[in-house]
């Protein structure tokens, strides 16, 4: 009867040893902060008297009180509506432009394709705060060269940092920065389409427009779903653009978006318990929207495959 070698246990445990650093980092920097945020969201500070003596401020159990206050907070709800309107502008425009650019770059007639891809992708490499600050100064009439040109031409000079045009200003920043990444994802899927498919379409007399609409776009549908999924999540978590542009205009409040409301409650008001509950609700809403979107996309794909 043969006995197992002592080294066999080391070989079997090697995969777990390789996973240990990743699991440790996940627990320390992802699971533990989430657990602590959930714990904070279920507590509050109880102040006795003037709150000046020792033991006058105590952390007590609050249950779902913070969540109830967050769901009935008009500022948080208005911020969610603003983000919804912002997303209705950003997501279709950004993905439509990314798809159009990817189809153009995949055309046989395009020239300088590597340089064009790099030029379109380059804005994505610019940090979000830097991009928002750059565009913010271009929106200011006193320092923007665009307003100088409009003035010389005698054309109207809209104030993009006031009122309704503010949504267009935020949308422009997001589209400028995010189109390149989505274009690269879609373009990579287009390049993976077998050449035989294009040759068969040409033999059948299909025009480039018909090839794009009936062959290329349906075949890159999974990439479109992926980019749409990421874009929705990024839109729900908008924070850099309004926070960076806030010092340049009075039209952006400190609670313009839900994440700005969380930041205001946590660091300006010092109420980390309410902020934790709000952040948990935002994360839950993002999870539900993402789950519903992916489930709908999977159901449609299964229906199309069954036809």
At 245-297, the pLDDT tens digits run: 999 888 899 999 999 999 999 999 889 999 999 999 999 998 898 888 888 87
pLDDT (mean) for 120-144: 90
Closest by Cα among 186, 61, 211 to 121: 186
The DSSP element (H or E) to which 103 belongs, if any, is helix 74-105
> Which domains are delineated in the chain?
14-63 (no CATH), 66-306 (1.10.3720.10)
pLDDT (mean) for 208-218: 88
Residue 45: what pLDDT?
A: 86
pTM: 0.85
Q: Residues 193, 219, 294, CA angle at the centre, nearest 5°? A: 130
Structure tokens at 58: 């105590």
């Amino acid at each position: 009867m043969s006995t197992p070698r002592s080294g066999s246990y080391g070989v079997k445990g090697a995969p777990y040893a390789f996973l240990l650093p990743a699991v440790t980092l996940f627990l320390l920097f992802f699971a533990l902060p989430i657990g602590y945020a959930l714990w904070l969201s279920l507590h509050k500070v109880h102040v006795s008297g003037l709150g000046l003596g020792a033991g006058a401020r105590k952390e007590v159990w609050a249950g779902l009180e913070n969540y109830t206050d967050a769901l009935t907070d008009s500022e948080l709800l208005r911020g969610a509506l603003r983000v919804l309107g912002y997303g209705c502008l950003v997501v279709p425009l950004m993905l439509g432009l990314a798809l159009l650019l990817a189809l153009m770059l995949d055309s046989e007639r395009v020239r300088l394709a590597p340089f064009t891809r790099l030029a379109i992708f380059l804005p994505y490499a610019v940090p979000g705060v830097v991009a928002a600050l750059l565009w913010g100064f271009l929106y200011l009439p006193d320092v923007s060269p665009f307003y100088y040109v409009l003035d010389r031409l005698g054309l109207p000079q809209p104030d993009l940092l006031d009122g309704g045009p503010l949504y267009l200003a935020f949308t422009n920043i997001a589209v400028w920065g995010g189109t390149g990444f989505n274009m690269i994802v879609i373009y990579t899927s287009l390049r993976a389409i077998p050449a035989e498919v294009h040759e068969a379409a040409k033999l059948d007399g299909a025009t480039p427009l018909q090839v794009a609409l009936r062959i290329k776009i349906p075949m890159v549908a999974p990439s479109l779903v992926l980019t749409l999924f990421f874009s929705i999540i990024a839109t729900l978590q908008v924070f850099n653009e309004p926070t960076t542009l806030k010092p340049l205009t009075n039209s952006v409040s400190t609670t313009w978006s839900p994440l700005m409301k969380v930041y205001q409650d946590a660091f300006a008001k010092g109420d980390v318990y309410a902020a934790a509950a709000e952040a948990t609700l935002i994360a839950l809403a993002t999870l539900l929207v993402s789950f519903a979107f992916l489930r709908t996309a999977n159901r449609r794909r299964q229906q199309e495959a069954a036809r």
